[in-house]
Structure 1
Amino acid sequence: MKHLFKYTSLAILSLSATMSTANAANRDTINVVGSSTVYPFSTVVAERYGKTTSFKTPKIESTGTGGGMKLFCAGNGVDTPDIANASRRMKKTEYDMCQKNGVTDITEVLIGYDGIVVANSRSVAPMQLTRKELFLALAKQVPALDGSETLIDNPYQTWKDVNAALPATKIEVLGPPPTSGTRDAFAELVLEGGCKTFPWIKAMKAKNKSQYKQVCHSVREDHKYIEAGENDNLIIQKLVANPNALGVFGFSFLDQNSDKIQGSIIDGTEPSFDAIADGSYPVSRPLYFYVKNAHVNKVPGIMEFLAEFTHDNAMGEEGYLTDKGLIPLAAKKLIALRDNVLSLKQLTL
C-alpha cells in the first residue's frame, strides 16, 4: 500500500510538472520586468495595447534594473521574461551573462530621456545644491577636513556642516537600492560628478580605476542615505510626511507629483522638461528596454507591443508618454530607432 501511495504521488507530481510546463509553453501574456523608472511608461503602453489589440494586457513588474537583467538573462525558456526595462544601458557583464545563458539575440530600444531629481516637500523651501555638496553629504568617505589628500569616514551630520549656507537640518536622503538603475545613474552622474571636483581624486582614475570608482560611487551606511526600495511612490509619501528629508528618483515621478514635491536646483539649474531635453540640466540619462528576440515567435503579440511602444502616438514629441514625463527622442532619431526595433536589430556590446 505504501508503494502504491508512493507511485501515485510520483504520478501526480509528474502530471503537475507536465501541466505546468504545458502552461508555460502556451503562455499568451507578455512578461516585462525591470526598472521602476521605466515601469510607469511600460504600464501606460501595456494598457493601451490591451485595449486596442486582441492580445492580453502585458504583465509589467518593477524589479529594479539589475534584478530585471538577472531574470531576463537567465535563459530563453518562456518561464523567463520577454522584455527587460532599464534606466541605464545594459552593462557588458549583463550582456555576457545573457550570452552565456543562450540569450544571444537581443534588441535594444532607447525610449527617451529622464532626469534624476533630488526633491523635497513643497511645505518647505526648495534646496539649491551642487554635485560636490551631494557627494560630501552622501559619500562613504570624503576628503579630510584639514585639506590634506587623505580620505576619512564621512563626518557630516547636517547640510550646514557641508556648506554653511545650507540649512541646519540633518542629512536624510531616501533613495533607491543598489539593484536600481537610478542608483547606478545617481552614483555616476551625481556622486562621481562631485567627487571629481577634487583634482587629486580625479587623478586617481588614471592610476587605479577600481579605487577611484570605490571612492566616488560608495554611499555612506550610517542611515543618512536610506534605501527605500524600488517603489518611488513610497519615497514621495515619506517626503510629504517628513519635510526635512530629500528623495532621489526620476523626473517623471516629480512631474506626476508636482502638487506635493519640488525638485532641488542642481548646479544652478532647475529640473524641467526643457532643461533635460536640451542637456542643460546636469543629471539626465537615457532610458531603455531590451527584447528577447527568441520569444517573438513563442509569445503572441510581442511585435505588436513594440509597434505600439515606438509609435509617434506613444514616444513622439506629442505622444502620450510625454504626458507621463518622458523626454522624447528627436523625430529623425525616433524614425531610425523604430526601423531598427521592428526589424529586431541585434545588439552587440
Structure 2
Amino acid sequence: MSASLPLSLSLRPRAPAPSVDATYRALLPELPLPLREVAARLPHRLGLTASPDGTWEDFVELPPNRDLPFYAAEDPARPGALVVSEASLDRYREAHHWAGVFGLVADRLADRQVAPDPALARLRAIFLRAWERALALATGDRRLARGAIADALAAWRRGVAAERRALALGALDPAAYAAITGQKLRWIAATSRCLVAASGDPARALLLQRAYDAFLFALQCRDDATDCAEDAAVRGTSIPAALGYPPGGLFRAAPKVARVAVALAEAGGFQRLASWIAAWARAVDARRAPGIPLQNELAGMIVAGAWEEADLLAAPSASPPRGVHRHAAQGA
C-alpha cells in the first residue's frame, strides 16, 4: 500500500530516528538461548513477513506507526519545535517500539493467527516488561507508565472478548465494530499520549489518542476489507460478512474516518500528523473499491458514522491515564 502513496507521506525527523529493529536487536543478547532463536526471526514466525529474515519495519511501514512520538512531540506554539528534548523523545521512541513488538505478539496470539507456543508467551511477557521499563524511564514516573499500560491492556482485553463474542454469533453492529477496534488498538498511541500528558497538557493528550484511534480504525477498515478470505478461514467469518456489508463499503469508510482523525489532530495542534493523515486519506479516496459503487458508498457512510457513536473518549469526563494529573503537577 505505502509504495504508491504520495511522496509527501515520507515525512521524517531531521535527524535519523532510532528504528524499531535497532531497539529490538539490543535486547536479543539478553534472552536465554532458546528464546533468542525464536526471537531472531519473530516477525516471520508471527506471519508478518514473507521472508524468514524479515524485520519489524518490513511490516510497520507507515511513518506515524513507526514513530508516533515524533508527531506527538510537536510544540503547537512553535512550529518545528518539540515539547520535549531530543534525548527524551528517543526514550519515548524506545517505549513506543516495545509497545509495538509486545502488541503485535499479543494480538496475533489472541486472534489465533499463530499457534499457541510457550516461547511466544514468554517473549510476550518479556516485551511487556521492556515497554513498562522504557516508558517509566521516559516519563520519569513509574506509576504513570504502569497506569497508562494497564488502561491500554484493559481496553485491549475488552475489545478481544467483545470481538470473539460477536464473531461467534456471526453478527456485528457498526458501532460495536468501531468500539471494539478502538479498544483493541488503543495501546498503539498509549506511549505518545503519555508524552503529551507528561508535558503538562492532559486535554491535548486525549485529543491525540482520539485522533490516532480514528486513524487506526480507518486502517483497520481497509485491512478487514482485504483480509476477508483469511479471516473466514481462521475465525469462521469475516468482518464485512459479520457486518452484512460488502468489503468495498469498508474501503470507502476508511478515508471518511481518516478525515475525522485529521480534524481531531488539528484541534490538538498536531499539524504534522494532521497533514500526513490528510494526504493518506486523499490517496486512499482516489482508489476504486471493489463492488457496486453506490452500495459501497452507503455502507461506508454508515460505518464511518458509527465512529462518532463509538468514540467513548470524546466524553468530557473521559479520564487520562492513571497518574497523569499528579505527574503533570510536578512539572515533569
**Greater per-residue strand proportion:** 1
| TM bracket (short chain) | under 0.3
Normalised TM-score (structure 1): 0.26
Normalised TM-score (structure 2): 0.27
**Greater per-residue helix proportion:** 2
Instruction: Indicate the structure whose relative CO is greater, using CA pairs within 8 Å and at least 6 residues apart.
Output: 1
